[in-house]
């Protein structure tokens, strides 16, 4: 394979030498939900799941809404259909939990005014107006809502003024600065033009059957909705530039959106995981327009040339070659797919080569992440699962409705090995997991997990990673770039290891993860340098950095400050 960026062989060998391969598995995830104070209960229609809208669940945002250095939790909630109209469920609604330290959280929904009353789907947290406070965009089946963070613990619904309603059924949303003006723009994925009054009922045709069971219809056979790109005008309003930017979505069923600069041309591109239709890769042309290159780059389909039912998507450099790869989760009886970034503008489906084939046929995947959970310097792939049809249980199929999480560890020899069973008893508890986001909730250097489970209580998984392994977290503040530094590329070098990550907070399934960037270092205490390529294109290097710290890096205002 031809690649633009090749990690020298010597470096690769050295990287292996510095890695502690935990052969015993992680054994580290503990469900601390009950004592955490996170009492959130997700609700999504009735138990029979007559419509698809009741099955897809909701996302979670992990962000620091009050800038106290502790990551807070925002959990999106569903609703119900009564007489074909969306109605809230008593005790439902989204919830904001303030992190009060020690893995304890307090419900501050009421005083913060962020209780989304619609049928919530996704959430994208980012400081869109560069005022230093993280705002929230919540997608709904219904009108979407933009909550502006007032900086005093409260939010204001500014949707109407901002002009980002979208309408009908939006799913994933994600912030990124496509035009390089230092303001975050917004891409909103949309799903089905859904109206329960005219949507066929279960079993109506072959798209409403699963292994002989009559199930909720769709998305195949139902009309799709085109995605929307909003440009940030910088005055609190947004312009719908979808057509102008060349985002011509024929109505594919969109779910999760990732902004990433896949071809390293300095311009953020957009990947959209689509359900039952080909995925999109919108290549940024650098002139305010995009070209769809999913099929050309190999991301639209799997290696069989088949479009999959992609739900979640995660980006990360799993093989430490300095290039950001993509992992998508799929339906049962199909593989989750890992696409390796070949560095020449194309991706290869390496699911089979990396040992991931046939490992998720009974599972139906949603949220996912490529992260280093044990700080050993290598990546793990985290997958949240849960079937959409309650009928799988009723008809005694071998698929279960509630399913275990899965974890796969990169063995540095070209394969992922499943370590689900070694990741703690709380890890394998069957759940109807949907949205998953990742953050270091207790600032101990281990990446924790929050899961929004369909029709169930949320799960807070505390990660007790090995203390022997070192780590560094980097929090970026843009000055010329967008303040959140979304799209920044960071390389951490030390002890013969090189780790690369791009800041992509919307990563997983319709949610937002901690925007601090986490790097596991193995036993290497010394970091020779940290290199940051800011979204503005400015490069910055910090040398001789201590490990086991959260390092704050501010973008230099001028070129002279770059070192």
Partner 1 sequence: MLAKFIFVLVALAKANGQDIDSYLRRLSESLENRDRDLIMKTLETIPESLLADPQCGFRVGLLLHQRGFSDVARTYVQRAASAHPNRADYVFLLGSVLVEMEEFAPAALLLGPLADFEKAPASVDALIGRAHLGLGNYSKAAVSFERAIAKQPSDPAFQVQLAHVAFRSGRQDEGIRQLRSARERIGTSQALNEKLSELELNLAAGALSQSEPAIARMVLAEVGSNQQKTERFRLLQANMLQLENQNEEAIGYLNQASIDYPKSAQIPFAVGLSHYNLGRFREASIWFKRAAERGPHLAQASHYQGLCAAKLQDLPAAESFARRAVSLEGRNDLYRYQLGWVILQEGKQGEAETLLREIVRDSPAYVPALVELGRMLLQRDAPADAIPYLARVVTQDPRLDQPHYLLSQAYRRLGRIKQADLSLREFRRLKEFERSQMTKGQSSQGQVAVGEVKANVQ
For residue 134, the 8-state DSSP code is -
Q: Which is nearer to partner 1, 102 or 223 (CB)?
A: 223
d(Cα 312, Cα 369) in Å, to the nearest integer? Answer: 9
DSSP per-residue letters across 211-263: TTEE--B-STTS-B---EEEEE-SSS-EEE-TTTTT----S-EEEEEEEE-TT
DSSP per-residue letters across 284-298: E-SSS-EEE-HHHHT
Alpha carbon 520 to its chain centroid, in Å, reads 19
- In this chain, which of 333, 552, 561, 563 binds partner 1, going by CB under 8 A? 333
And the tokens for 104? 């304890």
Closest to 40 in 3D by CA, of 89, 88, 64, 76 = 76
User: Which range touches partner 1 (CB under 8 A), out of 94-102, 301-309, 323-331, 506-514?
Assistant: 301-309
CB of 345 to partner 1, least distance (A): 10
484: Cβ–Cβ under 8 A, 6 or more apart, which residues? Answer: 126, 127, 134, 175, 184, 476, 478, 503, 505, 515
d(Cα 429, Cα 318) in Å, to the nearest integer? Answer: 26
**H-helix or E-strand containing 11?**
helix 9-17
558 binds partner 1 (CB under 8 A): no
User: Which range touches partner 1 (CB under 8 A), out of 233-241, 396-404, 462-470, 537-545?
Assistant: 396-404
First to last CA, the chain: 35
CB of 277 to partner 1, least distance (A): 9
Phi/psi at 344 (5° precision): -115, 20
User: Which range touches partner 1 (CB under 8 A), out of 66-74, 94-102, 187-195, 373-381?
Assistant: 187-195
List b or e across 292-305, with b for residues whose CB sees 16 or more CB atoms inside 10 angstroms: bbbeebbbbbbbee
Closest to 313 in 3D by CA, of 354, 274, 364, 356 = 274
CB of 283 to partner 1, least distance (A): 15
398 binds partner 1 (CB under 8 A): yes
- In this chain, which of 17, 68, 85, 131 binds partner 1, going by CB under 8 A? 85
CB of 122 to partner 1, least distance (A): 16
d(Cα 62, Cα 84) in Å, to the nearest integer? Answer: 33
Q: Taking the alpha carbons of 238, 242, 247, 251 in that order, is the dihedral positive or negative? A: positive
388 binds partner 1 (CB under 8 A): no
**H-helix or E-strand containing 159?**
helix 159-162
d(Cα 96, Cα 304) in Å, to the nearest integer? Answer: 43
- In this chain, which of 1, 9, 90, 559 binds partner 1, going by CB under 8 A? 1
- In this chain, which of 84, 287, 393, 544 binds partner 1, going by CB under 8 A? 84
And the tokens for 517? 């960037």
Q: Which is nearer to partner 1, 142 or 176 (CB)?
A: 142
Q: Which is nearer to partner 1, 388 or 397 (CB)?
A: 397
CB of 467 to partner 1, least distance (A): 34
Q: Which is nearer to partner 1, 18 or 221 (CB)?
A: 221
User: Which range touches partner 1 (CB under 8 A), out of 68-76, 83-91, 368-376, 544-552?
Assistant: 83-91
User: Which range touches partner 1 (CB under 8 A), out of 106-114, 115-123, 441-449, 471-479?
Assistant: 115-123
145 to 184, contacts with partner 1 by CB under 8 A?
167-168
And the tokens for 374? 């044990």
d(Cα 343, Cα 534) in Å, to the nearest integer? Answer: 20
Q: Which is nearer to partner 1, 184 or 397 (CB)?
A: 397
21 to 40, contacts with partner 1 by CB under 8 A?
none
221 binds partner 1 (CB under 8 A): yes
List b or e across 1-19, with b for residues whose CB sees 16 or more CB atoms inside 10 angstroms: eeeeeebeeebbeebbebb
CB of 148 to partner 1, least distance (A): 20
Q: Is 43 left (phi over 0), alpha (psi -120 to 50) or beta?
A: beta
User: Which range touches partner 1 (CB under 8 A), out of 262-270, 309-317, 319-327, 344-352?
Assistant: 344-352
217 binds partner 1 (CB under 8 A): yes
User: Which range touches partner 1 (CB under 8 A), out of 139-147, 308-316, 322-330, 506-514?
Assistant: 139-147
Q: Which is nearer to partner 1, 330 or 479 (CB)?
A: 330
- In this chain, which of 3, 104, 161, 211 binds partner 1, going by CB under 8 A? 211
CB of 241 to partner 1, least distance (A): 22
- In this chain, which of 24, 91, 206, 560 binds partner 1, going by CB under 8 A? 206
- In this chain, which of 56, 94, 121, 208 binds partner 1, going by CB under 8 A? 208
- In this chain, which of 41, 154, 156, 207 binds partner 1, going by CB under 8 A? 207
Q: Which is nearer to partner 1, 275 or 440 (CB)?
A: 275
Q: Which is nearer to partner 1, 72 or 249 (CB)?
A: 249
- In this chain, which of 9, 10, 90, 197 binds partner 1, going by CB under 8 A? 197
How many residues make up the chain in this entry? 563
Q: Is the peptide bond before 99 cis (omega within 30 degrees of 0)?
A: no
362 binds partner 1 (CB under 8 A): yes
Q: Which is nearer to partner 1, 131 or 296 (CB)?
A: 296
Q: Which is nearer to partner 1, 159 or 232 (CB)?
A: 159
Q: Taking the alpha carbons of 9, 11, 12, 13 in that order, is the dihedral positive or negative? A: positive
| Residues near partner 1, by CB under 8 A | 1-2, 84-86, 117-119, 140-143, 167-168, 193-200, 204-212, 217, 220-223, 225, 251, 295-296, 298, 301, 303-307, 333, 346, 348-350, 352-353, 355, 357-359, 361-362, 392, 395-399, 415
């Amino acid at each position: 394979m031809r690649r633009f960026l090749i990690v020298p062989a010597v470096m690769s060998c050295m990287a292996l030498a510095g890695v502690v391969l935990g052969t015993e598995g992680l054994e580290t995830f503990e469900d601390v939900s009950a004592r955490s104070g996170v009492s959130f209960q997700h609700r999504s229609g009735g138990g029979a799941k007559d419509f698809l809208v009741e099955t897809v669940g909701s996302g979670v945002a992990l962000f620091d809404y009050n800038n106290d250095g502790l990551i807070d939790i925002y959990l999106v909630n569903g609703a119900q259909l009564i007489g074909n109209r969306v109605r809230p469920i008593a005790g439902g609604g989204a919830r904001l939990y303030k992190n009060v330290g020690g893995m304890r959280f307090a419900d501050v929904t009421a005083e913060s005014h962020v209780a989304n009353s619609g049928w919530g789907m996704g959430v994208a947290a980012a400081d869109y107006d560069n005022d230093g406070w993280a705002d929230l965009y919540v997608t709904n089946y219904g009108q979407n809502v933009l909550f502006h963070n007032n900086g005093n613990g409260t939010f204001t619904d500014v949707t109407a003024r901002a002009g980002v309603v979208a309408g009908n059924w939006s799913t994933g949303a994600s912030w990124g600065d496509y035009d390089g003006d230092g303001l975050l723009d917004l891409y909103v994925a949309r799903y089905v033009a859904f109206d329960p009054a005219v949507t066929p009922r279960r079993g109506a045709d072959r798209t409403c059957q699963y292994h002989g069971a009559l199930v909720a219809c769709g998305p195949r056979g139902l009309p799709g909705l085109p995605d929307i790109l909003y440009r940030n005008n910088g005055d609190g309003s947004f312009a719908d530039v979808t057509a102008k930017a060349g985002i011509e979505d024929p109505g594919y069923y969109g779910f999760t959106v990732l902004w990433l600069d896949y071809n390293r041309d300095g311009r953020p591109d957009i990947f959209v995981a689509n359900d039952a239709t080909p995925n999109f890769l919108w290549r940024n042309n650098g002139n305010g327009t995009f070209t769809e290159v999913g099929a050309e780059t190999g991301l639209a389909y799997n290696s069989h040339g088949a479009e999959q039912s992609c739900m979640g998507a995660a980006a990360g450099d799993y093989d430490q070659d300095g290039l950001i790869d993509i992992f998508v989760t799929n339906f049962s009886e199909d593989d989750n797919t890992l696409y390796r970034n070949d560095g020449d503008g194309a991706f290869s489906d390496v699911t089979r080569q990396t040992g991931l084939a046939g490992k998720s046929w009974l599972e139906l995947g949603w949220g996912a992440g490529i992260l280093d959970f044990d700080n050993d310097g290598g990546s793990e792939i985290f997958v949240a699962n849960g079937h959409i049809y309650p009928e799988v249980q009723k008809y005694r199929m071998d698929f279960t409705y509630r399913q275990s999480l899965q974890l796969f560890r990169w063995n540095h020899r070209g394969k992922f090995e499943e370590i689900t069973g070694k990741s703690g008893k709380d890890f394998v508890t069957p759940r109807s997991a949907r949205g998953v986001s990742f953050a270091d909730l207790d600032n101990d250097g281990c990446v924790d997990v929050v899961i929004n489970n369909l029709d169930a209580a949320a799960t807070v998984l505390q990660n007790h990673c090995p203390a022997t392994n070192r780590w560094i977290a980097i929090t970026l503040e843009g000055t010329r770039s967008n303040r959140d530094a979304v799209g920044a590329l960071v390389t951490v070098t030390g002890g013969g290891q090189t780790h690369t990550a791009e800041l992509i907070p919307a990563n997983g399934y319709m949610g937002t993860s901690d925007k601090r960037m986490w790097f596991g270092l193995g036993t290497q205490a010394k970091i020779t340098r940290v290199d940051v390529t800011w979204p503005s294109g400015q490069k910055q290097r910090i040398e001789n950095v201590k490990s086991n710290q959260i390092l704050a890096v501010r973008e230099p205002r001028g070129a002279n400050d770059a070192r």
